[in-house]
Structure 1
């Protein structure tokens, strides 16, 4: 089967033709701990297949049913660190691919779409495995992949959320679980997800600014220079603000509030005299 998938990688994207057995193998190996199988073969072929509409309708429905019926995103999510993080993390990436495809061709019904929107937030609410690169097993990168999934939700033309505050509560929870610094650019991926939401007008500028105020207050109130984990959390927040300063360089209202926050922290840390 590996050789068959390798042959598909060499096939022009528009001429891809998957067998049902190949699709089944890919689904069962979403979280394979072999990074070559998981990243180079399975994830790459799912992306290419959906972006070029080369799965048959039956195969597409089978992939969607498998995704929804096998609890891939939340598999063992409350347990101590284990290899199921690869299943969850790469299912989050697949969820993002499916949402992007749906945005173009409506592959979901309304219930499925709403479930995916909800799960993209729930996943980041619950994921507690913050490992980036795992020796011999490759990238877990759950927070980054979960952020990509959230970004696909927030940028979707049919995205709906009754309470935008839930997004910022989720962001605060992600940061608040840090016991060591982020190492692999997770802050940029988190910042990007929210930027996509504002860009798509699924998060209003007013709600975004209120969300910044909420997270900032929560993290600053708990900050204690004698407790390293609170330092790491505040530093992660500062990095997110720095990314937003770039992302929203042309939005005066957002840029002003972010710059105020950053200037305050730079003063506190002695960078501005």
Structure 2
């Protein structure tokens, strides 16, 4: 850890122990900006428990104005945060990306309560989240020593907040479903840290919007492909494991819902062919 990170860590510990309140003369937004700049710290306590945990508290407790939240959202989505070294092979960069997307989720959740973001901004968020979802290849969950990365799960959290915004229409929801399908259907990593559960939550809330027809939902499910002729045997095996895990999670999530019986039946048919 750098000297600056150590200083920030001690300051944030004090704030957490003070019921997340600042001392007189301190400014929530100024410190929020400093926290965002350090959100990719390799110290899991600083990154996850302190920076993310305190931002969660402050955003949910309305410590920031709407205009300040817009600034924090723009920073979280920029090339130095959500897209930080996305196409490089620096494995530690994922922590900054994966925790920046969690801040996006927090701000969209606050928007759903306070309605302070324009449709134009929400569509920009949607486009950037889908771009990130489709292009992030570091999908490790828990990393020894360094803690959670969990980019697929964290992005699903942000998309889940987004699909509950009423401005998005059927086409938008299908775009988001397709990004989930793409992230499920990978062969270069096998999900082991309940990523499927987080991605299923997005799908469930898309279905809850009641904008998609039965045929559109069934068609989306039938597009899952467990084999790619360009893949090796083991790659196709990993692809199958990921798809089966996701479909099973979706099956049990919807099992008790009366209006989801046709989805359950379709999932059973697909699983029986795998």
**Alignment gaps of 5+ in structure 2:** 1-7
Residue 120 of structure 1, CA deviation: 2.0
Coordinate RMSD, CA, aligned: 2.5
Question: How many residue pairs align between the two structures?
Answer: 261
Residue 161 of structure 1, CA deviation: 5.8
Q: After TM superposition, list the pairs within 5 Å mapping 1:32-43 onto structure 2.
A: 32-43=41-52
Alpha carbons 1:223, 1:230 under 8 Å: kept: no
Alpha carbons 1:223, 1:231 under 8 Å: kept: no
- Partner residue in 2 for 1:112: 121
- Partner residue in 2 for 1:47: 56
Alignment CA distance shift 1:16-1:208 (3 Å): farther
- Alignment equivalent of 2:171, drawn from 144, 154, 162: 162
Q: After TM superposition, list the pairs within 5 Å mapping 1:165-180 onto structure 2.
A: 165-180=174-189
Q: Secondary structure at the match of 1:77?
A: coil
Q: Secondary structure at the match of 1:235?
A: helix
- Partner residue in 1 for 2:11: 4
Alpha carbons 1:120, 1:146 under 8 Å: kept: yes
Alignment CA distance shift 1:112-1:58 (3 Å): closer
- Partner residue in 1 for 2:249: 243
Q: Distance in 2 between matches of 1:108 and 1:99?
A: 8
TM-score relative to the length of structure 2: 0.84
TM-score relative to the length of structure 1: 0.85
- Partner residue in 1 for 2:271: 262
Q: What CA deviation, in whole Å up to 9, does each residue of 1:7-56 have, x standing for no partner?
A: 3223446x667624422221111111111110011101111111111224
Alpha carbons 1:103, 1:157 under 8 Å: kept: no
Residue 115 of structure 1, CA deviation: 0.9
Alpha carbons 1:164, 1:207 under 8 Å: kept: no
Alignment CA distance shift 1:153-1:173 (3 Å): same
Residue 223 of structure 1, CA deviation: 9.7
Q: What CA deviation, in whole Å up to 9, does each residue of 1:212-239 have, x standing for no partner?
A: 1112xx3246598x71111111111111
Residue 133 of structure 1, CA deviation: 1.8
- Partner residue in 1 for 2:91: 82
Residue 164 of structure 1, CA deviation: 4.7
Alignment CA distance shift 1:51-1:122 (3 Å): same
Alpha carbons 2:244, 2:271 under 8 Å: kept: yes
Q: Distance in 1 between matches of 2:19 and 2:212?
A: 38
Q: After TM superposition, list the pairs within 5 Å mapping 1:197-208 onto structure 2.
A: 197-201=206-210, 203-208=212-217
- Partner residue in 1 for 2:205: 196
